[in-house]
Structure 1
Amino acid sequence: MTAFQQQLLDVNGITLSIYSAGPDSGRPVWLLHGFPECWYSWRSQMTALAEAGYRVYAPEMRGYGDSSAPEDVAAYQILTLCADIQGAMDALGHTDVCMIGHDWGAPVAWHLGLLEPERVSVLGAMSVPFGGRPKRPAIDIMREANVGRFNYIVYFQEPGVAEAELNADIERSMRLLIGGNSDVFLHPKPADAQFLAGLDVPTTYPEWCNEQDFAVYLRTLNKHGFHGPLNWYRNFEVNWQSTEFLAGRQVLQPTLFLLGEDDPVGKLEAYTVKKMGELVPRLESHVLSECGHWIQNERAGRVNELLLEFLGRHYPRAGIV
């Protein structure tokens, strides 16, 4: 069984917890998790990549687990989140990496690809496509499109509201978010409803996350609660303002994009997925059947197969770091 090592780095004004695996001589592959997950969501990919000779790094992103979780909403701006990883790459001496992200980790990976075209030579993203900088903040568009009806991202905007609901019973919240279906995110309800109100907690764990696996997720969220993870959603306007210098830029690295056919994000972002090739000219994309949002776990074997094949062509393990 592959051994995972943890280290704590002081970077960008915080402590960043990073789990790693694989030979020290292996080319570095970074795996960035999303909401509400943890480094352990990459356990299958870490094992497969390490066994293939890569050195894999899976941080606990800002707000999660043993990493720092600042209270200030502004501490979770996209460029700050990128700076956490850039600082870690500096500390580890990384000059040539593959950067892969899922869910909220995907926008961080996309932006790192734009910010670090020399160091980030290969990209991977799962679930969340790249649409470039919109003409106005995305949250404004979401609010207008969801007048009179519930939208979970709009609901997350007011500090204190969503965390009061989710922190009231973190195990229940995580059972519903990790083990529920897309209805958790897309089920129609009034605008003034709560996120998880009235939903029945699954009586079993999903195939890809048994009781022992779930305990790792639960420990991660119990450490700080949901305030930090929710703050990732509260900077759309600031992110839009601060990334003006990236407007119109293409992602030029070889890029692998994976999406589950039943992923609610894919349904919400169908147009962006369709048009993404115009902004990512070296894009390779795959839609995985019988797969929802938690793609790297639900279809771990297929994801590993696609990753290793893609990296073998664009980021071979025999390369020199």
Structure 2
Amino acid sequence: MEIKARGLTFDVYEGGPADGDPVLLLHGFPQDHREFDLLAPRLHEKGLRTYALDQRGTSPGARPSDVGAYRLSEPTADAVAVLDALGLESAHVIGHDWGAIVGWWLAAGHPERVRTLTAVSVPHPKALGLALRTRASQRARMSYFKVFQSSIAERFLLAGDGAVLKAMLKPIGERGLQYVESMRDDPGRLTGGLNWYRASASRQNQAGIVSVPTTYVWSDKDGVVTLAAALRTRDWVEADYQLVAMRGISHWVPEQASAALADAALKRIGKA
């Protein structure tokens, strides 16, 4: 469906029982709503209604040209507006990568709209910020941000038929190719995704304390997030909290370990 909110048009993909408890699914980069295709059926089996949102920069009708329009306050406000447009007072939230960060912001700033949070791969922003300040290993893992923020990022990522993107997504095999093809066929989608990184170069407020029941899913083969950042996330959640550590799984949890993620999310939602 197309949802008009905040002067933009967002693509939202719904599924599951019409009367099921709502779950808002928030994707990361370089993916889109399809990264939840393996997860959603498990949620539907448990009676949940899912709404997978193609976020700002990915939905063709929601691609502002101004980099400042991708500061984290904006996609957070988008999520609230989409819930309003769907007539939902609140929803369970599952977010991966940038979608996890939006989930943290949403849970911290609008706790009344979030029933539970399952954040995947990316920890609480303040835990990540602390690790960046104190751990050289965390800074090294996120050094790619400077490349993604640069003016040559689009050419770099699409060079050689998207060789860098394909290498990034190698752990999910053939599924990764669909995202590369989408960005090659629609370069505006790639620029929209990269603008999240470019906007992050400017100083922004950070998410505060989270007061909703939360599960954070971290994987030990994640090349982006260190264990130190994962462990400190607990400091920023003042509610029931669980850290789920996955062994042998990369950053791309929703597609590489969809069954295990479904188990963790359903446990958090109370539908296990």
**TM-score tier (shorter):** 0.7 to 0.9
Q: What's the offset of the Cα at 1:37?
A: 0.6
2:199 to 213, 227, 235: 235
Cα deviations by residue, 1:28-60 (Å, 9 ceiling, x for unpaired): 101111110111110111111112111101111
Mapping 1:58-69, distance limit 5 Å: 58-69=52-63
Q: Assess, with a 3 A threshold, how the Cα gap between structure 1 residues 219 and 57 changes in structure 2: closer, same or farther.
A: farther
Instruction: Tell me the equivalent position of 2:143.
Output: 151
Which residue of the partner structure matches residue 190 of structure 2?
226
Partner of 2:44: 50
**Residue number in structure 1 paired with 2:10:** 16
1:163 aligns with 2:163: no
Alpha-carbon separation, structure 1, partners of 2:156 and 2:70: 21
In the superposition, relative to structure 1, how do residues 131 and 271 fare at CA in structure 2: closer, same or farther (>3 Å)?
A: farther
Does 2:259 correspond to 1:297? no
Ranges of 4+ aligned residues in structure 1 off by more than 4 Å: 133-136
| CA apart distance, 1:131 | 3.9
Q: Which residue of 2 aligns with 1:175?
A: 166
TM-score by length of 2: 0.87
Task: Structure 1 unaligned segments of length 5 or more: list them.
Answer: 1-6, 180-205
The answer to whether the 8 Å contact 1:102/1:127 transfers is yes
Distance 2:124 2:210 in 1: 9
Matched with 2:219 is 260
Give the structure-1-normalised TM-score.
0.75
Match 1:308 to one of 266, 269, 272? 266
In structure 2, relative to structure 1, the CA distance for the partners of 1:155 and 1:54 (3 Å cut) is: same
Could you say what secondary structure the match of 1:278 adopts? helix
Q: Give ranges in structure 2 of 5+ residues lacking alignment.
A: none
Secondary structure class of the residue paired with 2:169? helix
1:278 is aligned to 235
**How many residues are treated as equivalent by the alignment?**
265
- Larger helix proportion of the pair: 2
Residue identity matched to 1:296: P
Q: CA deviation at 1:164?
A: 2.1
Aligned-residue CA RMSD (Å): 2.7
Shift of 1:67: 4.5
**Residues 45 and 304 of structure 1 are in contact (CA less than 8 Å); yes or no, is this contact kept in structure 2?**
yes
Match of 2:210, SS state, is coil
Identical-residue share of aligned pairs (%): 29
Answer whether contact 2:127 2:232 (CA < 8 A) is retained.
no
The Cα of 1:214 is off from its aligned counterpart by 4.2
- The secondary structure found in structure 2 opposite 1:106 is helix
8 A contact 2:127–2:233 mirrored in 1: no
TM-fit CA distance, 1:285:
0.8
Task: Select the structure of larger CA radius of gyration.
Answer: 1
**Structure 2 residue 87 is matched with structure 1 residue 128:** no
Helix, strand or coil at the partner of 2:31: coil
**CA distance 1:209–1:13, shift in 2 (3 Å):** farther
CA contact (8 A) 2:116 2:268 kept: no
For residue 251 of structure 1, the aligned residue among 210, 215, 218 is 210
Alpha-carbon distance in structure 2 between the residues aligned to 1:129 and 1:91: 28
Spell out, residue by residue over 1:78-116, the C-alpha distance to the aligned partner (whole angstroms, 9 max, x if none).
011111111110100111211111111111000000121
Q: CA offset at residue 62 of structure 1? A: 1.2
